[in-house]
């Protein structure tokens, strides 16, 4: 089952899908100074939900991410950790992967490439 949500502004798109043991949230568009807070707001609920065994953020369609976007991802990671879970980043595009590496955040996040 896949449901599609249109973003509530700043060009981001979100799609959610159920996983056997959790939730998959697909993000699309440019995560920047203008849009990062939208991602933060949209993902904060699932991230804080201790009932979810898994939370996978599918970044396949992220065309740009800057330091503001990284800030949003870290915030979600911390929220998730506080809820006793972890945030998985799936299908991170090469530019974002590079960004994570140069900011040493690739150690912080769990990156997965298998289809979810």
Q: Candidates 13-21, 52-60, 83-91, 92-100 — which segment interacts with other proteins by CB under 8 A?
A: 92-100
Taking the C-alpha atoms of residue 59 and residue 49, their distance in angstroms, rounded to an integer, is 20
By CB under 8 A, is residue 83 in contact with other proteins? Answer: no
Yes or no: say if 43 and 5 are a contact pair by the CB < 8 Å rule.
no
Task: Give whichever of 34 and 110 is closer to other proteins, judged by the CB atom.
Answer: 34
Between strands 87-90 and 54-65, the pairing is parallel
Q: Is 64 one of the binding residues for other proteins (CB under 8 A)?
A: yes
Q: Measure the N-to-C terminal CA separation of the chain; round to a whole number of Å.
A: 13
Token pair recorded at residue 39:
């991602």
Looking at 44, 83, 108, 112, which residue binds other proteins (CB under 8 A)?
A: 108
Contact residues toward other proteins (CB under 8 A) are: 30, 32-34, 64, 66-68, 70-72, 74-75, 77-78, 95, 98-99, 101-105, 107-108
């Amino acid at each position: 089952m896949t449901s599609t949500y249109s973003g509530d502004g700043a060009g981001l798109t979100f799609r959610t899908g159920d996983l056997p043991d959790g939730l998959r949230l697909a993000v699309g568009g440019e995560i920047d100074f203008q849009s990062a807070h939208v991602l933060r707001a949209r993902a904060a609920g699932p991230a804080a939900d201790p009932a979810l065994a898994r939370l996978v953020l599918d970044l396949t369609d992220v065309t740009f991410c800057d330091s503001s976007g990284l800030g949003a991802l870290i915030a979600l990671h911390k929220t998730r950790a506080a809820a006793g879970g972890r945030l998985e980043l799936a299908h991170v595009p090469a530019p974002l992967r590079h960004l994570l590496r140069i900011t040493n955040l690739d150690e912080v996040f769990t990156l997965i490439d298998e289809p979810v």
